[in-house]
Amino acid sequence: MNPLAQHPSRPDAGAAGVVSAAPAGPCSVVIFGAAGDLTKRLLEPALFNLANTGLVPEHFGLLGADIADLDARGWTASLRAMLESFVGDPEAEDQIGRVNDAAWERLTAHADYVQGDFTRDEFYETLKSRLEAIETSQGTGGNRLFYLAVADRFFAPIVEHLGKAGLLAEGESGEGPWRRIVIEKPFGHDLASAKALNRRLLDVVAERQIYRIDHFLGKETVQNIMALRFGNGLFDPLWNRDRIDHVQITVAETVGVEGRAKFYEQAGALRDMVPNHVFQLVAMVAMEPPVGVRAEAIRDKKLELFSAIRTVRPEDAVRGQYDAGEVSGRRARAYREEPGVAADSNTETYVALRLAIDNWRWAGVPFYLRTGKHLSERMTEIAIRFRKQPLAPFKGASIDDLPPNWLVLRIQPDEGIAIEFEVKRPGQTMQLAPAQMQFRYRDRFDPEPNVGYETLLYDCMTGDQTLFQRADMVEETWRVVGEVLDDWSGRPAAGFPNYRSFSAGPEEAERLLSDDDPTRRWRPVALDPAEDGS
């Protein structure tokens, strides 16, 4: 969803003038990796939520493709079983009220499944004939969305095979039926591999056909940053180097590697989270206002921002790896003791970076980023610290005694926005006390179930690329972290493991801030900063 366009949004009960979304136009969705975890946990529930809110087109085809030995009935039954298991589970990744049979039928009544090996030509012959049969019976007009929910080594080969089989051809300037591919992360593992992957994809399809997903952009609170910045006159005059001291972005997780050691050992926290998710948060906060609402206008501004970020030097990065720890009586093992992890693993489960942005708005304003697993709280926030006023005209108070003001954008959980400021403590003397103004999503809205993928899938079906990464954006973000990746791969980490599970991360990360200014400290990794869990 383009957050700046007058765009259908989920209805806000009782609000006047709220535009409801229209169903997407006729199309088929082909899911590669149909029997995999991502499909079951995220894609199918999101498609279901879309069907449940009437946004799946009336003329719709669904085709699963996977190596797993299943047929259409077995496949859809396994999806439904997973969906049922989410119902009423507040801990589930997907919030499903109940599985509405009509919506389920609408989604899966005509679904088909093709079993086979994605690397073989014959597979695509079968896929083609089965897809064409769905297209005819469902009247989808030949519009196709190929969703690649597979390991990254399959991205280019699948697209090349689809191209060879003639399944991706569009009219020269996009007229006629559309054909789109959706690529999950990781999009490359460094600049060279991202460039190589872009080249191979762009040999087969045009950029307008590629939807590189970053699921953080599907989150309401991430899109809301645009609303906050560009929909209000209040913040804009403050949003620059004159008023902002620095910005902290924290993506803290309590989970560990959760059975993904094979992937994670190769990736590590930096590759897994930073050039993609964390940099999208940076872009939302720091980009210039776009000159219009077109997807390209917004993506151009993000690219401009990424290009202005200085390549991070190894001394501006701190890596960490979790040791054992305990929380609420539960003992967690160290990363090196996780199944599938090498006993002397050098993989980082935590990273903190100091970014410098070389443009007129941000010159001299550091952006400190950190993300890690097994931290004290699951919490994603963007905290903007304002500069202090020049003097404190209160008896006995020096300006150094006054805490700074913060604007905190809570991305998840407890979604909302808070402003931290000073007020007069009631009484006969002038004493200041910290206070907070809060906006909480849950107080204002009654949101529909949404895992973020709904918005992104809907956008793929309706052809809105605003929330997707463009080739040049992906390459710039890999450029920014390239020197650190090279440095780390050539130099074993000293002192790993270096933070206790369920703590705030390695102590050393403090130096990124305090070296710049001794009054700067990371905010607590705690939902309520008054109860610092670290």
To ligand BG6, the closest distance from the beta carbon of 93 in angstroms equals 7
To ligand BG6, the closest distance from the beta carbon of 185 in angstroms equals 6
Cα 336-341-347 angle, rounded to 5 deg: 75
To ligand BG6, the closest distance from the beta carbon of 460 in angstroms equals 18
To ligand BG6, the closest distance from the beta carbon of 91 in angstroms equals 12
To ligand BG6, the closest distance from the beta carbon of 215 in angstroms equals 6
**Which CB sits closer to ligand BG6, 38 or 392?**
38
**Segment 95 to 114, residues that bind ligand BG6, using CB under 6 A:** none
**Segment 210 to 229, residues that bind ligand BG6, using CB under 6 A:** 215
**Segment 38 to 97, residues that bind ligand BG6, using CB under 6 A:** none
Q: What are 31's strand-pairing partners? A: 64, 147
- 277 in catalytic set: yes
Pairwise CA distance, residues 19 & 31, whole Å = 30
Residue from 510, 460, 243, 480 nearest 362 by CA: 243
Per the structure block, which two tokens stand in for 427?
């009484």
**Which CB sits closer to ligand BG6, 186 or 506?**
186
Nearest residue by C-beta to ligand BG6?
272
Quick one: which of 44, 253, 381, 464 contacts ligand BG6 (CB under 6 A)?
253
Per the structure block, which two tokens stand in for 359?
């443009």
**Which CB sits closer to ligand BG6, 174 or 259?**
259
Pairwise CA distance, residues 251 & 281, whole Å = 10
Q: What is the 3-state secondary structure (H, E, C) of 192-215?
A: HHHHHHHHHHHHHCCHHHEEECCH
Site string for ligand BG6, 171-210 (x = CB under 6 A): --------------x-------------------------
Residue from 278, 281, 273 nearest 225 by CA: 281
Residue from 267, 276, 221 nearest 440 by CA: 221
The H or E element spanning position 410 is strand 406-412
Identify whether the C-beta of residue 427 lies closer than 8 Å to the C-beta of residue 434: no
To ligand BG6, the closest distance from the beta carbon of 248 in angstroms equals 17
Identify whether the C-beta of residue 259 lies closer than 8 Å to the C-beta of residue 170: no
Q: Does 348 bind ligand BG6 (CB under 6 A)?
A: no
**Which CB sits closer to ligand BG6, 1 or 63?**
1
Burial class (CB in 10 A: 0-12, 13-18, 19+), 433: exposed
**Segment 272 to 311, residues that bind ligand BG6, using CB under 6 A:** 272
Query: Other CB atoms closer than 10 Å to residue 324's CB: what's the count?
Result: 16
Check 215, 246, 277, 374 and give the catalytic one. Answer: 277
**Which CB sits closer to ligand BG6, 123 or 264?**
264
Burial class (CB in 10 A: 0-12, 13-18, 19+), 25: middle
**Which CB sits closer to ligand BG6, 253 or 348?**
253
Catalytic residue numbers? Answer: 277
Applying CB under 6 A, the residues found at the interface with ligand BG6 are 185, 215, 253, 272
